[in-house]
C-alpha cells in the first residue's frame, strides 16, 4: 500500500489542522482545539452522509476514516485529528500506517473517570462499536481493577444530534433509558465516549442532577494537538488572521449549516465535500 507522504519540509506553519468526525459531534473537539490553539487554521469535515459509524462494519469505518483523512491531507493539513471514538478504536492504526503526518486520536475518558469516582462505579456512554472494541477493554483492564465500569451503548444519540434535535422529547426519553440504570447501579461519574454526546451534556445534566460528574476527552485531545504541533517547525505564529473551513458529506448543506451553526453558537458556512473534494487519490511513496 502506498503511503501519503507530506513531511514538515513541504508543510508551512500556515498549513491548517484537519479534523474529521462521522458527523457534527466532532465540533466539540474543534471548539477545544480552536480555544487551545488560536493561531491555527482548521479544516473540519463531517461525514454526516455516512453517519452514524457506531453500528457499521469495521471495514466500512476504516474505509470512511481513510477517505476523510485523505480529504484533509489533500487539502494541505499538517496534522489530522480523529474526532471520533469509533473511528479511533477501529481505524487509527491503519491511518498512521497510511499517512505520514501526525494523526491525533482520542479515547474515552475512562482513566480520569475512575480516578475521580468516589463510589467505585462509573458509567461509559458510547456507541456499540466503541464499547465492544479491544481499546475499551484494555482501558477497563488497565485502570479499572477496583472500579465497576458500566458500559452503556446509546443508539439514537448520534442521530438526534445530527438532526439538531437536542431538545426533542425523544432525546430526553433516550437519556433516561440509558442513564437511569447507571445511576441506580451507583455510578457517580459518566463518561461521554462519543463526541456527539458532548452536545447532550446539558440535557444529561438536567436528568442526573448536580452531584454526578460528566467527563469527555475534548480538552485532553486539544492539549495533545498543541504538544504535537508546538514541538514541530510547523506551528503557526501568533497574531495572524485565521481561516477555518467546514465541509460535510451530507446531501443537504443547508441542514448541515443550520445544525453546525447551532452547535457552535455562530453562523458558519458549510460546503459540500462531494462537490469540492480535493483529489485524495493522489499519493506519494514514503521517503525512506
Task: Tell the residue number behind the cell numbers 498543541, with chain if given.
Answer: 226
User: In this structure, how many other beta carbons lie within 10 angstroms of the beta carbon of residue 169?
Assistant: 8
Q: Is there a contact between 248 and 49 (Cβ–Cβ < 8 Å)? A: yes
Question: Residues with Cβ < 8 Å from 262, sequence gap 6 or more?
Answer: 164
Rg (CA), the chain: 19
**Residue 245 φ then ψ, to 5°:** -130, 145
Q: Is there a contact between 244 and 43 (Cβ–Cβ < 8 Å)? A: yes
Q: Could you give the residue numbers annotated as active site?
A: 84, 194
CA distances from 117 to 3, 59, 85, 125 (A): 43, 36, 22, 16
Give me the numbers of helices (H) and strands (E) for the chain, helices first please: 12, 10
The half-sphere exposure of 247 on its side-chain side, counting CA atoms within 13 A, is 22
Amino acid at each position: 500500500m502506498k503511503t501519503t507522504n507530506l513531511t514538515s519540509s513541504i508543510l508551512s506553519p500556515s498549513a491548517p489542522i484537519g479534523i474529521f468526525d462521522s458527523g457534527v459531534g466532532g465540533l466539540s473537539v474543534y471548539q477545544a482545539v480552536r480555544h487551545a490553539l488560536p493561531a491555527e487554521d482548521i479544516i473540519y469535515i463531517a461525514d454526516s452522509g455516512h453517519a452514524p459509524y457506531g453500528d457499521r462494519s469495521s471495514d466500512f469505518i476504516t474505509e470512511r476514516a481513510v477517505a476523510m483523512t485523505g480529504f484533509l491531507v489533500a487539502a494541505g493539513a499538517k496534522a489530522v485529528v480523529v474526532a471520533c471514538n469509533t473511528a479511533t478504536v477501529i481505524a487509527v492504526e491503519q491511518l498512521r500506517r497510511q499517512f505520514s503526518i501526525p494523526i491525533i486520536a482520542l479515547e474515552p475518558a475512562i482513566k480520569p473517570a475512575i480516578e475521580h469516582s468516589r463510589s467505585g462505579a462509573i458509567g461509559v456512554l458510547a456507541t456499540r462499536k466503541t464499547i465492544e472494541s479491544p481499546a475499551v477493554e484494555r482501558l477497563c483492564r488497565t485502570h479499572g481493577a477496583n472500579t465497576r465500569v458500566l458500559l452503556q451503548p446509546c443508539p439514537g444519540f448520534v442521530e438526534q444530534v445530527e438532526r439538531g434535535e437536542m431538545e426533542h422529547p425523544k432525546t430526553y426519553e433516550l437519556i433516561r433509558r440509558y442513564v437511569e440504570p447507571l445511576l441506580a447501579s451507583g455510578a457517580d461519574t459518566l463518561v461521554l465516549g462519543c463526541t456527539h454526546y458532548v452536545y447532550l451534556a446539558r440535557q444529561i445534566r438536567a436528568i442526573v442532577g448536580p452531584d454526578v460528574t460528566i467527563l469527555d476527552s475534548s480538552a485532553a485531545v486539544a492539549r495533545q494537538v498543541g504538544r504535537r504541533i508546538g514541538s514541530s517547525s510547523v506551528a503557526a505564529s501568533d497574531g495572524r488572521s485565521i481561516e477555518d473551513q467546514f465541509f460535510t458529506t451530507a446531501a443537504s448543506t443547508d441542514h448541515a449549516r443550520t445544525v453546525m451553526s447551532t452547535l457552535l453558537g455562530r453562523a458558519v458556512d458549510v460546503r459540500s465535500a462531494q462537490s469540492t473534494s480535493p483529489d485524495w487519490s493522489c499519493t506519494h511513496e514514503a521517503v525512506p
